Amino acid sequence: MIQIFRTIPEFRNFRKNLPREMKVGFVPTMGALHEGHASLVSSSAKENDITISSVFVNPTQFGPKEDLSKYPRMLEKDAEILEKNGATVLFAPSTAEIYPESPSQIGFTIQSLGDKLCGASRPGHFNGVVQVVSLLFHIVRPDNAYFGEKDFQQLMIIRQLVAEQHFEVNIHGCPIVRESDGLAMSSRNLYLSAEERSQAVVLSQILFYLKEHYHQFKDADAVKSFVSEQISKKSVMRLDYFEILSEKGLKDIAVWENTEKPHAFIAAFCGNTRLIDNIPLFS
Ligand code: PAF
């Protein structure tokens, strides 16, 4: 049976008794787990002596008009998925446990990585992510931590956090897991109505098309026009952003002669649900 800890002292007591030589893998999550999370847990279980996962819906990474109160919570089912995929410990603290004063943000400098894409659309979001991930790293003290590439910008920011704060943890990015029609798995897919779900697939269809054909467009602006045209022609989704950036450093790429590896990022509202996806354009 997976062991569940709900308080920091209980968890710490367990953690300090682990043998020093034991490799600890960590998969932080906000719950509502799907096969994407399962793949992170099984990678960790293969590469470590013990896998610890956390389920914590972090208030400081939600904006005032976002879905914090309705974010899906299903701890029992999550615990089953974690156990099935090789996690032996679940840390599931309350908000008061993590933020004893009140869940307010403390400032982090995330420099240029944090002010574009989701950082521009969701002000303060990455500050909240960095805040909670660093708290969790302090509590869990993992050797290896696993994050999905669906949140590619988050992964880059966490790598930067680790480098800047000298955390002794190796960060592993794991490939996006997709539904059979291509939609990137996300806990927020649970919000989609049947009609919205059938439209949501347009995002991955566009990305797959661009991976094969982006060279045929004169520049990134031409691709952007194509993408907004496709979204409005094929769906009732509202494009939030589409950008082509360098895989390293997330710098703007205007034309293909650039030596940087281009990576496409998309976010769109499908009804009230904001979906994101991304793809490397180079092979
Ligand atoms: O990717 C997520 O689920 C969250 O942003 C994370 C990393 C668990 C921090 O709350």
Encode pLDDT of 13-27 as tens digits: 999 999 999 999 999
Domain with CATH 3.30.1300.10 in the chain: 187-280
Residues 140/24, Cβ–Cβ less than 8 Å: yes
- What does the mean pLDDT of the chain come to? 95
Pocket residues: Cβ below 6 A from ligand 1: 28-30, 58, 61, 129, 132-133, 151, 154
Residue 116: alpha-carbon gap to chain centroid: 15
Give 190-234 pLDDT, tens digit per residue.
999 999 999 999 999 999 999 999 999 999 999 999 999 999 999
State which H helix or E strand residue 267 sits in: strand 262-270
Angle among Cα 113, 116, 117 to the nearest 5 degrees reads 115
Active site residue 37: yes
Between 3.40.50.300, 3.30.1300.10, 3.40.50.1820, 3.30.930.10, what CATH number should domain 187-280 receive?
3.30.1300.10
| Nearest-angstrom CA–CA distance, 144 and 233 | 44
Tell me the CATH number for domain 3-174.
3.40.50.620
Residue 120: alpha-carbon gap to chain centroid: 16
pLDDT of residue 112 exceeding 80, the answer is no
Mean pLDDT comparison of 63-67, 91-95, 120-124, highest-scoring range: 91-95
Mean pLDDT of 113-135: 93
Residue 240: alpha-carbon gap to chain centroid: 17
Residues 171/158, Cβ–Cβ less than 8 Å: yes
Amino acid, single-letter form, for residue 186: S
| Nearest-angstrom CA–CA distance, 30 and 180 | 24
Name the active-site residue from 37, 138, 172, 213. Answer: 37
